[in-house]
Amino acid sequence: MNIALMMENSQAAKNTIVVEQLQAVATVNHDTVFNVGMSDEQDHHLTYIHLGIMASILLNAKAVDFVVTGCGTGQGALMSLNIHPGVVCGYCLEPADAFLFAQINNGNALSLAFAKGFGWGAELNLRYMFEKAFTGRKGEGYPADRKEPQVRNAGILNQVKKAVIKDNYLDTLKAIDSELVKTAVSGARFQQCLFEQGKDREIIAYVKSLLS
End-to-end CA distance of the chain: 30
Q: Indicate the DSSP class of residue 74.
A: S
- Alpha-carbon distance of 168 to 133, in angstroms, equals 29
Q: Counting beta carbons within 10 angstroms of the beta carbon of residue 124, is it exposed (0 to 12), middle (13 to 18) or buried (19 or more)?
A: exposed
Mention the CATH class of domain 2-211: alpha beta
The answer to whether 86 touches 80, Cβ cutoff 8 Å, is no
Q: For every one of its 212 residues, what pLDDT tens digit does the chain have, with 9 covering 90 and above?
A: 999 999 999 999 999 999 999 999 999 999 999 999 999 999 999 999 999 999 999 999 999 999 999 999 999 999 999 999 999 999 999 999 999 999 999 999 999 999 999 999 999 999 999 999 998 778 888 888 888 888 888 889 888 988 888 678 999 999 999 999 999 999 999 999 999 999 999 999 999 999 99
The answer to whether 48 touches 67, Cβ cutoff 8 Å, is no
The closest alpha carbon to 185, from 203, 167, 165, belongs to 203
The domain spans of the chain are 2-211
